Structure formats: structure tokens, C-alpha cells
Structure 1
């Protein structure tokens, strides 16, 4: 592989951040996709935008929101304000049209509207501006772009379609994406495996690859042992071994297998307590009842993202027990650095981006195959050993968290764009 730009998690580049006067140009962030329904994309993009702004960069967001069916009605100017997102998104195709038009006709109309938006947004860009592009960009590579190739980044964050979709429509979209991957600028990805996958799929990109994982904001998560003890006492969990699952009930996150693993853990540690934070509360309650877990050893709740820093330190173990496969192999789930910055030991799947190997190397958790319960008992015993020295474990977790924080990567990111 000729992939460049490997991120060394154990080195944080130091130096004085450039001030705004040293960065006179604008950075346009153009996205065509779903950030309303997709919590992962919304979190990543929100934190990336806020990090750019903290660096003093003049960020110009142009985000076209797909999935009109999940949005409230747009304002008169076609924009919608999303909760916990810093900039409005553009969604001129109303829910009424989505409901009334045949689906294929609506998609054709939507593509025409998107093309018009992209044309208008690209006309705003000057030659000296930086440009980051993400999502369903269609034939954007055929449109005139004033910004030169060395000032452009094509941003790929996920591969859900590759495992979930097939047929002619999918092949056409991948053919179009191959042109964008090679003509829109440097590839920007969330993990080294993602960069390697794109090189295998679309060939070598002469502009190179820039890796920006899903990072954590140190200002939001500030671990304090006294606050942790107070939170656990408030929840009635002072004497519990708290196992946290943070996320959805999507199959690629192995919710059923994670519950089964906790059941095995509970058989080993009678004080184990399963705490699930998810917006799919009813689904998880049903799965827990089907697993015949006693109701006094689990709790399902949801918390706004901006409150996670207050609650996550109450846990002891974080679950990221995902199955193998392309989606997880190229991923960079933000849950991992969130667990690390709160000092949690992690139960991670065998192919979770670069994090599986990082867990092994830094001894901050155990690797568990959700499809092979023979690995569970040894993993539970290894967890028990790790948790015997909580202070050393937390120090290792905090070390990893620093490498996976926006603050720890600001200089590297700033140097890339300006």
C-alpha cells in the first residue's frame, strides 16, 4: 500500500496555534447527506466544525440535509435548525412533496435541487479558499471549482452502503464516487483502514490521504474522581460494577450479543450492573427482557450529548463489542475516545478500526468476538485483572484519550489546512 498519513496515536504535535490573522482564507465545508437522523455523522461534523472555529478558521458551512421525511418544516429560506448543531442545514424539499410525489420522481426532483445548490455554493468560493466535500455529491467533479486541487479534500466517513446495498443503482453511485475520489482533491478519512479500502476500491490518489478520527472534546469531558463518586452515589451504584453501553440497537453494534456478554459477566460478578444510554429505549428493554436478565441489574436511559461528560464517569467498563466486517473494520467510533477520557476499560470487537489493536497495545481493555462466546470467559477474567489496579488503568486510558482529542490534534489539523 502507498497510503500516506498514518496517525500515530502516541505522539501529539505541540506548538503555538496560528491566530486568525495568520489564516485569512475561508474554509468551505460542503455536505450532502443525513445529519439529522444519523447521530454519528452529526456528532462528528459538529465537533469538527467547532474545532475549526476554535482554531480561528473562518468556516463556511453549506450542508444539504437529505431524509426530508425526518425533518420539521424548513424556514422560508429553506434552512432548518437542528438541536445541538452549530449551523443551520439546508432542506428546500419539503415533507409535503416527499409524501405526495412517487419516490422515484421525488428523488429526481431532489437531485436537480441538489445540483442547483452545489452550483450556487461553488460560485461563492474563491481561488484561495479551502474546500472540504462530503456525501452524495453526484457529478460535482464536472462543475467548475475555483479552488485548486491542493486546497480541496474529499471526505469519506462511512461505508454502510457497501454492505447493505447492491444492484444497478448502487453500482452507478459507486462509479460516480470513484470519479469524485480521484478528482476532488486529497482524500480525508476517519481511519487508516478506510484509506486502505478506498485505495483498493478506487486506486492511488496522488494528492495523498489525511486521517482525522472521530475525536473527543476535552472541554466537555473532564474526569474528576469526587464527581464520579457523587454521581454513582446519586444513582445508587456505589457498590456496583457498572457496564455501560452507549449507542443504538443497530445490528452492526451487536446489541443482542452485548447483552448476552453482560449476562455471562453478571454470572461471574454478582454486583455487575448494565447501564444502557440510547434513544432506542423500548427496543433495549425488550431485548433485556427476552434475555431474562433480572430487572434489578440493568437500567435503560437516554441523555443529551452535552450532558455525557457528567454521567459517563460513573461507569467502570464501556462496551464496543462490534462484529467483524467492512463497516466496523474501517470505522472510528467516537464512543472509544469518550470511554478513554473517562477512564473506562473497554470491551472491543475484533475489527473496530484501529482501536482493536490499540486496546491490545495499551492494555486499556479486552478484545471480544461477539460471534464466538468461547472468547468471553477469558475476556471476563482479563477484565477482572485490569480492574484490580484502577489508577494505573485510568492513566493509560487518559494517555490514549489525549491522542484522540481535538485539542491534542489541533496543531496537526491546522497545519493540514493552512
Structure 2
């Protein structure tokens, strides 16, 4: 890490945030640093750096996300976002910096045998970046046997590692229900079919999916987040649109929600004699960790003296890394960002900030994991 001032670099990324699939300046800077470290660099939807040492034929992938969020930053520090209405409110500036720090450390003092593929991914926030890289053929061009990703976690002591085998992050599906009734005068509701009444009935009925149709503790959340109509102060709406969000821990539960949602909407529509259509699109699939990579993460963390929980509770949020871990063995892990101040604020909040104290810890963790998973001849994997 002698070649990189991690704090200065993280602050640089923080000042210049870019939204998903528009990370042009960020990508150029990442590629520039990787090239300066002597890595082979490939640019496409994201940036890929290749570091090979020795004659080993094993390869592992390490992934960091690059995009920011459309949030106006309210922080008071001296490296606030210079792009109005855009900020790194999820810590991707820190994720990139930790991985670049690891690349520098491993380039200077490799002490491993094999290939490390550093993947810098665009557009994680909308669940589109990993798939874009996969569709470009990144896993075929740069094959790896296993892949890893870190996400910071506010409210947890700095550097504390949490992960688990099996499902660790929920899926996210977006739904839209269109109700086509018959509008009319507010004084004569009997003449038409008030779309608000039908919509309200559907909203209430959707809540029975979790409470009465799925097993207790399934970890599913169904939320109606928008109720839009063409009504006015004295006009009953003829159409209404309900929009919302579904989180699920297991694919079977996600599929059950979609089926039950269509069944409920169709039934209520039929009862009122109106047309109701449902669209249900999964933006993020469930993130599933494999057992061996999870154990490797726990071992690497403990080798550095970090507290590590290898059987944490599943997270309710979603993560685009799911597409990588669905394609090959992988492990998504969480690393504590601190408990107080901006570093303890929730992800996606306007006053959140990544903890600079975590930068060297994360970089050292990545380097330790590489050396554990790609040991030199005569050494043993941990």
C-alpha cells in the first residue's frame, strides 16, 4: 500500500461520485491506478485488473462496486460531494479504495501463487452492473474458481466481519398493479367503479400474503409504496396504479408471493367487475454464499485478529453480487463501519460516511485472503 494514500484516494472518490453506468471518471481513475501498479487492465462495463504470480493455475475474484446514489449530501466534512444531488451514501468509495489498496499490497509483496482478478463493478444500486459484466463474458474471459465481495455495515464495531453460508441477502422484486375501473362524478359513485376503493381492498389483502399464506419467520416483506390515480377533488378515478417492493430470503417464497399477488388482484378485480393486471419483476435475486469461501473469510479475518461471525443473521437488504455468486462459488461479507457519528448512520442516509479507519483493515483482509486461497508451493491453505 506504499504507492497509495488510502484516505486521500477515498476522499477523492467521495468528492466525485457518479451514478450507475455513468461512472466514467471513476472507471478511468481505477484503471489508471491498476496500470500504475503493473496490472493487466481491461475496461468494459466495469474495470478488471489481473495480477498473476508464480505458476499456479488457480484464480480467485475480488469485487468492489463503484456507483453512487442520487442523494444530496448533508455532511460537513471537507471532502463533500462536488456533484449536486449525488453522493457516495453507501460506501462504494471505501469499497473501491480497500480493493485498490489490496492490489497495491499484493503487487509490491505478492507472496502468493496464482491469479487474482480484481473486478470493479458499475451500477450495483439498481442491480444491473453484475449482470452487465457477466453478459460481456467477464467470467469466461477471466475465469475464477471463487469470488468475494465486502460491504461495510454501519452500527457495528470497525472491522468486525459477519457472513454466513447459504442465503445472506434478500431478493428485491418490484411490482405494479393496474386497476381499470370506471370514473365518474364524486356525487354519484353508483354509476361507475371507483378505482380507489378497489385499490384499497387490494392493498389490505396483499398484507395477508405474509401473515396468512407464508410460514412464520419466512423473512418476506411486501410493501405498497405508491398509490396513483387519475382522480380529482370531485372526480372518482377510473384508473389506479399500485407500486411496491417485495423482499424475500428464498426463491420459493418470492415465486409464491408473485403467484398469490396475481391471484388476489384477479379475485378482487372480478368481484368488482374491473380489469386488474399485475407485473412482477425481480431486480435482485437472493445472495447465496458457499460454505468453503465463507470458512475462508472467517479464517482470514481471524488470522488478522479481527472478530468474525461465520453464522450471522440474514440481511433484509439486497445485493447485486448475487449474480456473481449464482454463477460461481462465492462469499459476500459485511465489515463493521463503526458505531458512532456519520460512520454509524444508516446506509443511504444523507449524512452517512465511510470510516477511514476501515480502509487499511479491509485492504489487509483482502491481501490475507488472497495469500490463504492461493498459497505458494509448500504452504497449506487455511
Q: Normalization by structure 1: what TM-score?
A: 0.22
Using CA pairs below 8 Å that are at least 6 residues apart, which structure has the higher relative contact order? 2
Higher-strand-fraction structure:
2
